[in-house]
Amino acid sequence: MNDLQKRTWAEISLPNIRHNYEAIRRSLPAGCRFLGVVKADAYGHGALPVSRLLQEAGADYLAVSCLDEALELRRGGITMPILILGHTPPEYTGLLIEENLTQTVSALAKAKEYSAAAQELGKTLRVHIKLDTGMSRLGFLCAGDYFDIGVGNVIASCKLPNLEPEGIYTHFAVSDEPGEENEAYTLQQFQLFTDVIAAVRERGGVRFAIRHCANSGAVVRYPQMALDMVRPGLLLYGYGDESGRLGLLPCMRLVTTVSTIKHYEAGTSVSYGRRFVTARHTRMGVLAIGYADGLPRILSNKCSFYVAGGYAPQRGSICMDMCMLDLTELPQAAVGDEVEIFGEHNDIEALAREAGTISYELLCAVSKRVPRVYDK
């Protein structure tokens, strides 16, 4: 970080990420591999530093969303296996192979395109088959009437030339949500996943070295679903309702500073839209953070931040680069003070609820403009 600016920054604890990695590892059955999900810049924590840590700590696999994210890691010296969760256009098959990346295959038509491209190059592309067992997103359809077609298409994909089907996976829709209905749905997804794998083996003689389905929710709530590898993202960063169960630690603290403090008489309107009007003499701080830094505008007039040993309410519309904080009750707060937006004193989950969203979105929203400062 440019120390001269001291505007807004995100403190990231690499030791906490390491602690979380090790705690999750300890909870897994012997021999189970660990894939760390580092898509979206490792949920805002910095894909390269987090991947370097995981590589050094002995994780088995990484996952990213797209080819660009994978290339960033390879260029940064990450040599461990990387799975691309999303689609990559077949024109990039050569690059995928050259960079030793593992591509998700979610339909027979796509398998055929990758196979044709790899054949032309005279090389082999490593792939993981993705099943749609109830998320209704990417993946071979295999539920209900689609079972036989799905199994047939997976077998056909795996038998295509120049593809190496190393793994098979699926993704859960409600593994992180409590309640009987959600549990039944997750168990049903898991059953379908294992049924398809068994049918693919019986009917096609295809066996997968790595079967994986457990995202963060399943790692905590359904340890029996670990199979050959788990695939946590949020949990690794110490967030989610379940992270306490494994003794995990949050890894990001978003901090800004008080740029200036002004005194207003009662009846003064504050910020765009004049959505807050002072009811008394008010000592108002201007903070160097706005929605362009990742503080959602929907939190305007609805949140508090931690400063000078206390909590102060945010007032008026949150602007692109600034917002206002009522410091009337905290006379000790001064210009230049650090203000914790979320972190150990201000729970990100509570802030997310107030914003009508989830901690995932607040973490990913911390923008490129915000320097990451690493605690090693």
Ligand X SMILES: *Cc1c(COP(=O)(O)O)cnc(C)c1O
**Residue 232 binds to ligand X (criterion: CB under 6 A):** yes
**Residue 362 binds to ligand X (criterion: CB under 6 A):** no
The secondary element (H helix, E strand) that includes residue 147 is helix 147-158
Least distance (Å) between residue 232 CB and ligand X: 4
The secondary element (H helix, E strand) that includes residue 315 is strand 310-315
Among 154, 234, 318, 322, binds ligand X (CB under 6 A): 234
**Is there a catalytic annotation at residue 39?**
yes
**Is there a catalytic annotation at residue 61?**
no
Catalytic-labelled residue, pool 21, 39, 130, 239: 39
**Residue 37 binds to ligand X (criterion: CB under 6 A):** yes
Token code pair at residue 78: 């990450």
Among 128, 171, 211, 221, binds ligand X (CB under 6 A): 171
- Residue at shortest CB range from ligand X: 233
- Cβ contact 101:82 at 8 Å: yes
In the numeric block, the tokens 């296996």 are attached to: 81
Token code pair at residue 14: 């690499």
Least distance (Å) between residue 216 CB and ligand X: 3
3-state SS, 80-135, equals CCEEECCCCCHHHHHHHHHCCEEEEECCHHHHHHHHHHHHHHCCCEEEEEEEECCC
| Segment lying near ligand X (by CB under 6 A), choices 20-28, 225-233, 288-296, 368-376 | 225-233
Number of H helices, E strands in the chain: 11, 19
**Residue 216 binds to ligand X (criterion: CB under 6 A):** yes
β-strand pairing of 323-326 with 310-315: antiparallel
**Residue 285 binds to ligand X (criterion: CB under 6 A):** no
Show contacts with ligand X in window 83-112 (CB under 6 A). 85
Among 128, 231, 253, 315, binds ligand X (CB under 6 A): 231
Contact residues for ligand X (CB under 6 A)?
Answer: 37, 39, 85, 171, 215-216, 231-235
The set of catalytic residues is 39, 272
